[in-house]
Amino acid sequence: MKRVLLALALAGLGVGIAHAQPSDLTNGVFITHYPPGSVYTNTDQCAWYGTYAIVDPAQQNPTIDSFDRTVWYVLAAWDGAKNFCGVEFGFGNFDPAALWIAAYGPCPASALPIPTGGWPGPNEGVSIAATTEPWNGNLLPVYWFDVAAYYPALLQLTTHPITGFGGFANCLTPPTSYPAACFGAMGIFMPGIPCSPPVPQAHVCCVGTVCYLVVTEAECVQGLGGMWHPEWDSCGPPNPCDIVPPEPDVCCLGHQCFFVSEEECTLMGGAWHPEFVDCGDPNPCDIYTPVEPSSWGAIKSIYR
C-alpha cells in the first residue's frame, strides 16, 4: 500500500499539468508554523497566509500559546524553490480533548485532499494532489488548521498511517515520490518541534587554478566547464586548484587499458606504463608483452 493514495490521486488527475522540468524534491521537510496573532476569519485562509508568509525557515513558529481560535499551517520547504504536485503526511498520537479543530483544508483551496476516515484526528493522514496548478516556490503552505486550544498537547506530523509514506511527489508522469527529511510538530502551550531543510554540502570545482564551491557535479562540469573535486570542501588557503595533480599514464589490467595516475594504477593492481602515451588504437595493453624475469629464462635454458 506504500504511496498508493498519493500515486493514484496524481495519476487520476494527469500530473502533466505542471508545465515545468522535473524537480528533485530530495531533502524536503514539513514545517509547522503559527503566524503570531493570527485568528480565524471567513476569508480564504491560503490567500490570507500570503500577508504573513515567512521567507526563511529560521522564522518558523511551531508553538501556539493562545486560547483564542488561531490558524496554523503546514509548510513544505527545501533549500530553494521547488515544483511539486503531491503531498502526503499524517498526525501522530495526541489527546483530541486538548483542542478543538474547528476547520481545516488544503492550500491552495483547489487542491484535492484524500483524507483517512478520522482525519484530522490522532493517527490519521491525508494525501493532497494539485488539480489546476502545481505548487511552485518554497516555504509554501500545503494545509491549514483553525484550532481552539484548551491545554498542552503536541501535534506531531508524521508519515501517512496507511501508506507508511510522508513526503512529496513531483510532476512527472508517472510521478516520482520523495520522502520528507524532517517532520515538524505544533506545540500547544508547550514547545513545538522546528524543522529546517538540510543544507547541501558544497565541494571544490577547479576552473584552471580558480576555485569555486558548488553543490553538484553538473554545476561544475556543465555550468562552469571545470573539474569536479568532491574530495575537497574548501577553497583554502591554500587553494587546492593550485596543486598540480599527478600526471596520468597508461595502466594495464590484463588487456584492459586505463589512463590513471601511478597511485591509482597500483591500487587497481595493474601494471604502470608511463612509456605509453594513451589508451588509443591500437590498445597498448594488447601489444604489451611482459618481460620475463631473468631467473625464469635461466630455468628454461636448463630444459632445452
User: How confident is the model over 100-147, as pLDDT tens digits?
Assistant: 999 999 999 999 999 999 999 999 999 999 998 899 999 999 999 999
Which pLDDT does position 264 carry in this prediction?
A: 82
Q: Does the pLDDT value for residue 262 go beyond 70?
A: yes
Which pLDDT does position 157 carry in this prediction?
A: 98
Asked whether residue 193 is domain-assigned, the answer is: no
Which pLDDT does position 160 carry in this prediction?
A: 98
Examine the domain organization and report whether 12 and 148 are in the same domain: yes
Asked whether residue 76 is domain-assigned, the answer is: yes
Per-residue pLDDT band for 21 (boundaries 50, 70, 90) equals very low
Asked whether residue 198 is domain-assigned, the answer is: no
Weakest-pLDDT range from 148-152, 183-187, 295-299: 295-299
Which residues, other chains included, contact 106 with Cβ-Cβ below 8 Å and sequence gap of 6+? 112, 113, 128, 142, 143
Looking at the structure of the chain, the number of domains it has is 3
Length of the chain: 304
Catalogue the long-range contacts made by 286-294 (C-beta closer than 8 Å, 24 or more residues apart). Answer: 286/255, 288/252
Examine the domain organization and report whether 43 and 129 are in the same domain: yes
Most confident stretch, 6-10, 80-84, 90-94, 210-214: 90-94
Q: Does the pLDDT value for residue 148 go beyond 90?
A: yes
Asked whether residue 45 is domain-assigned, the answer is: yes
Higher pLDDT, 288 or 274: 274
Query: By C-alpha distance, which of 71, 75, 47, 70 is closest to 59?
Result: 75
At residue 39, the 3 state secondary structure works out as coil
DSSP states of 44-56 as a string?
-HHHHHGGG--SS
Which residues, other chains included, contact 231 with Cβ-Cβ below 8 Å and sequence gap of 6+? 203
Per-residue pLDDT band for 290 (boundaries 50, 70, 90) equals low
Q: What is the pLDDT of residues 23-45, one digit of tens each?
A: 799 999 999 999 987 777 767 88
Which pLDDT does position 244 carry in this prediction?
A: 66
Please state, rounded to an integer, the average pLDDT across all residues of the chain: 85
Mean pLDDT of 224-242: 88
Mean pLDDT of 155-173: 96
Which pLDDT does position 297 carry in this prediction?
A: 42
User: What does the angle CA 73 – CA 76 – CA 79 come to, to the nearest 5 degrees?
Assistant: 135
273-301 as b/e, with b when 16 or more CB fall inside 10 Å? beebeebeeebbbeebeeeeeeeeeeeee
Per-residue pLDDT band for 219 (boundaries 50, 70, 90) equals confident
Examine the domain organization and report whether 184 and 263 are in the same domain: no
How far is C-alpha 273 from the geometric centre of its chain's CA atoms? 43
Per-residue pLDDT band for 6 (boundaries 50, 70, 90) equals low
Examine the domain organization and report whether 181 and 66 are in the same domain: yes
Examine the domain organization and report whether 87 and 108 are in the same domain: yes
Asked whether residue 140 is domain-assigned, the answer is: yes
Domain that holds residue 286: 249-302
Which three cell numbers mark 233? Answer: 570542501
Which pLDDT does position 299 carry in this prediction?
A: 32
Answering whether pTM is above 0.75, one says no
Which three cell numbers mark 136? Answer: 511552485
Which pLDDT does position 275 carry in this prediction?
A: 86
How far is the C-alpha of 22 from the C-alpha of 82, rounded, in Å? 10
Examine the domain organization and report whether 162 and 232 are in the same domain: no
Query: By C-alpha distance, which of 157, 114, 125, 165 is closest to 1?
Result: 165
Mean pLDDT of 253-259: 89
Per the CB < 8 A criterion, the answer to whether 91 and 124 are in contact is yes
At residue 35, the 3 state secondary structure works out as coil
Examine the domain organization and report whether 145 and 219 are in the same domain: no
Examine the domain organization and report whether 180 and 85 are in the same domain: yes
Q: What is the pLDDT of residues 176-192, one digit of tens each?
A: 999 999 999 999 999 99
Mean pLDDT of 213-227: 86
Which pLDDT does position 95 carry in this prediction?
A: 96
Q: What percent of the chain has pLDDT over 70?
A: 86
Three-class secondary structure assignment of 69-118:
CEEEEEEEECCCCEEECEEEEEECCCCHHHEEEEEEEECCCCCEEEECCC
Examine the domain organization and report whether 216 and 164 are in the same domain: no
